[in-house]
């Protein structure tokens, strides 16, 4: 595969994270849950890394580490729904892992849930959100609204600050899936994170190791999980620092220019091209090529293309649940795909080559 354009699925680990991972693995051999000297050293190092991690994000609270964001979300939904009567109101544009987490607790008698509508861009429709949350809280139920920050398929950045204000006014709490946004926000967007009650994240999405976690507050106590992986935590902190060093307004500007160039070239080959990701972050381009409709599915083109991209979310198969929730028809979804590039390293030459290669591969396929 000559061109890797699936960065929203998995960017490679940065060198800083690999180094930090290796050094932690060499230096801390004790089990951080134990009580001997080496264990205490390891648990003190985790405490130091946790506060560094939170400090880089400008957040207070605690961090619970897992292997993936999926595990972190499942464990969070499990721990908060053990006792109270609880209702989860979940954005329809959420990643599948949120629905899986809901599924795993849905047979509990105290648990109820509802799916919240999203618009064509995957943004939460906020019209009656306050009333929906109030309905639950006045019935004496705890209500957690689960939303996604940067959508993994469309790249849409939702208005989490406004959503949190509405939910909190109505007595509810907010869970944010920040898997695609952590480390990649400018300072204004980062400020909104402090309004969240629970944040789940995936370190590998910000150039870190395969780890995930939840940032949470004092409403959870006695949350016992397995032994935390110090090398993964150390790699995650180094990766977050790497992002802090690179994600800035000028990088956003540079990436927006690259995105426009990509779209112009592909549009030159496919004048009827439709852009699904209108409001997205610039490194995510989700497009539909109408010429593909009723002919072949994008999936078929994907497997014989020199550009690595994806249809739907890379970790699931089948029709994109996000585009479905946004209201797109089946044929539109089947002729759509996501191309996501590295905002840090991508340059003009790369984008031009990718756009040409991608367009020619699709044309070749369509022309048999
Ligand atoms: C928005 C979002 N949430 C959750 C996940 C799941 O992350 P993990 O693979 O770490 O479970 C992903 C991964 O694609 C994602 O993009």
- Spatial CB neighbours of 34, under 8 Å, sequence gap ≥ 6: none
Judge whether residue 132 has pLDDT over 90.
Answer: yes
User: CA 266: distance to chain centroid?
Assistant: 26
Judge whether residue 169 has pLDDT over 70.
Answer: yes
pLDDT at residue number 182: 95
Q: What is the tens place of the pLDDT at every residue in 320-354?
A: 889 999 999 988 988 888 999 999 999 999 999 99
CA nearest ligand 1 atom 13, residue? 9
pLDDT at residue number 294: 56
Q: What is the tens place of the pLDDT at every residue in 74-96?
A: 999 999 999 899 999 999 999 99
For the residues 162-182, what does the mean pLDDT come to? 97
CA of 149, closest atom in ligand 1 = 1
74 close to ligand 1 (CB < 6 Angstrom): no
CA of 204, closest atom in ligand 1 = 10
pLDDT at residue number 1: 56
The whole-angstrom separation of Cα 186 and Cα 193 is 11
For the residues 1-24, what does the mean pLDDT come to? 93
152 close to ligand 1 (CB < 6 Angstrom): yes
The whole-angstrom separation of Cα 107 and Cα 319 is 26
pLDDT at residue number 296: 61
Q: What is the tens place of the pLDDT at every residue in 151-163?
A: 999 999 999 999 9
Q: Is residue 205 a contact partner of residue 152, using CB atoms and an 8 Å limit?
A: no
The whole-angstrom separation of Cα 283 and Cα 256 is 8
Confidence band, pLDDT 50/70/90 cuts, at residue 100: very high
Q: Do domains 3-11+248-366 and 15-246 have the same CATH topology?
A: no
pTM: 0.95
pLDDT at residue number 292: 74
Pocket test for ligand 1, best of 69, 101, 182, 184 (most atoms within 8 A of CB): 69
Judge whether residue 141 has pLDDT over 70.
Answer: yes
The whole-angstrom separation of Cα 270 and Cα 367 is 13
Pocket test for ligand 1, best of 95, 104, 150 (most atoms within 8 A of CB): 95
Pocket test for ligand 1, best of 8, 67, 70, 147 (most atoms within 8 A of CB): 70
pLDDT at residue number 297: 66
- Spatial CB neighbours of 139, under 8 Å, sequence gap ≥ 6: none
Confidence band, pLDDT 50/70/90 cuts, at residue 114: very high
pLDDT at residue number 293: 63
Does CATH place domain 15-246 in 3.30.420.10? no
Q: What is the tens place of the pLDDT at every residue in 235-281?
A: 999 999 999 999 988 999 999 999 999 999 999 999 999 999 988 89
Pocket test for ligand 1, best of 11, 155, 180 (most atoms within 8 A of CB): 180
The whole-angstrom separation of Cα 148 and Cα 135 is 22
- Give distance in angstroms: CA of 314 to centre of ligand 1: 9
pLDDT at residue number 315: 52
Domain ranges of the chain: 3-11+248-366, 15-246
- Give distance in angstroms: CA of 98 to centre of ligand 1: 9
Judge whether residue 314 has pLDDT over 60.
Answer: no
The whole-angstrom separation of Cα 72 and Cα 150 is 18
Q: What token pair was written down for 350?
A: 């790369």
Dihedral sign of CA atoms 303, 308, 310, 315 in order = positive
Query: According to the 3-state scheme, what is the secondary structure of the chain?
Result: CCEECECCCCCCCCHHHHHHHHHHHHHCCCCCCCCCHHHHHHHHHHHHHHHHHHHHHCCCCEEEEECCHHHHHHHHHHHHCCCCCEEEEEECCCCHHHHHHHHHHCCCCCEEEEEECECCCCCECCCCHHHHHHHHHHCCCEEEEEEECECCCCCEECCHHHHHHHHHHCCCEEEEECCCCCCCCCHHHHHHHCCCCEEEEEHHHHCCCCCEEEEECCCCCCCCCCCCCHHHHHHHHHHHHHHHHHCCHHHHHHHHHHHHHHHHHHHHHCCCCEECCCCECCCEEEEECHHHCCCCCHHHHHCCCCEECECCCCCCCCCCHHHHHCCCCHHHHHCEEEEECCCCCCCHHHHHHHHHHHHHHHHHHHCC
pLDDT at residue number 268: 96
CA of 210, closest atom in ligand 1 = 10
Residue 206, burial from CB neighbour count under 10 angstroms (0-12, 13-18, 19+): buried
Q: Measuring CA to CA, which residue among 134, 72, 144 is closest to residue 112? A: 144
214 close to ligand 1 (CB < 6 Angstrom): no
Residue at token pair 């991209």? 309
313 close to ligand 1 (CB < 6 Angstrom): yes
Judge whether residue 313 has pLDDT over 60.
Answer: no
Q: What token pair was written down for 26?
A: 């060499």
- Give distance in angstroms: CA of 99 to centre of ligand 1: 12
pLDDT at residue number 33: 93
pLDDT at residue number 312: 65
CA of 313, closest atom in ligand 1 = 14
Which one has a higher pLDDT value, 304 or 328? 328
Q: CA triplet 149, 345, 17: central angle to 5 degrees?
A: 70
265 close to ligand 1 (CB < 6 Angstrom): no
Q: What is the mean pLDDT of the chain?
A: 92
Q: What is the tens place of the pLDDT at every residue in 205-231?
A: 999 999 999 999 988 988 988 999 999
- Spatial CB neighbours of 245, under 8 Å, sequence gap ≥ 6: none
CATH level 2 (architecture), domain 3-11+248-366: Alpha-Beta Complex (3.90)
Q: What token pair was written down for 257?
A: 């220019």
Q: Is residue 315 a contact partner of residue 96, using CB atoms and an 8 Å limit?
A: yes
pLDDT at residue number 56: 94
């Amino acid at each position: 595969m000559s061109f890797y354009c699936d960065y929203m699925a998995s960017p490679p680990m940065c060198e800083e994270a690999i180094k930090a991972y290796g050094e932690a693995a060499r230096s801390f051999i004790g089990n951080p849950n134990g009580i001997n000297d080496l264990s205490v050293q390891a648990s003190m190092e985790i405490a130091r890394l946790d506060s560094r991690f939170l400090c880089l994000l400008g957040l207070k609270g605690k961090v619970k580490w897992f292997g993936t964001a999926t595990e972190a979300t499942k464990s969070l939904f499990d721990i908060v729904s053990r006792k109270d009567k609880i209702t989860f109101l979940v954005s329809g544009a959420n990643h599948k892992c949120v629905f899986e987490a809901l599924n795993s607790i849905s047979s509990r008698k105290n648990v109820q849930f509802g799916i919240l509508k999203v618009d064509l861009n995957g943004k939460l429709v906020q019209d009656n959100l306050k009333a929906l949350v109030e309905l639950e809280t006045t019935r004496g139920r705890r209500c957690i609204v689960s939303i996604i920050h940067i959508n993994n398929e469309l790249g849409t950045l939702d208005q989490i600050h406004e959503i949190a204000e509405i939910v909190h006014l109505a007595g509810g709490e907010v869970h944010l899936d920040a898997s695609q946004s952590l480390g990649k926000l400018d300072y204004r967007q980062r400020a909104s994170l402090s309004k969240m009650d629970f944040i789940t994240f995936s370190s590998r999405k910000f150039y870190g190791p395969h780890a995930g976690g939840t940032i949470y507050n004092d409403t959870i106590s006695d949350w016992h999980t397995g032994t935390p992986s110090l090398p993964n935590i150390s790699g995650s902190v180094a990766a977050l620092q790497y992002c802090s060093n690179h994600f800035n307004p000028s990088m956003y500007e540079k990436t927006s220019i690259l995105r426009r160039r990509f779209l112009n070239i592909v549009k030159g080959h496919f004048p009827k091209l439709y852009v699904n990701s209108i409001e997205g972050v610039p490194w995510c381009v989700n497009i539909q090529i109408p010429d593909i409709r009723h002919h072949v599915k994008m999936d078929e083109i994907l497997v014989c293309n020199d550009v690595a991209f994806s249809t739907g979310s890379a970790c699931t198969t089948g029709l994109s649940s996000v585009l479905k929730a946004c209201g797109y028809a089946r044929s539109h979804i089947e002729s759509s795909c996501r191309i996501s590039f590295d905002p840090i390293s991508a340059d003009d030459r790369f984008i031009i080559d990718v756009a040409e290669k991608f367009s020619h591969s699709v044309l070749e396929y369509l022309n048999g």
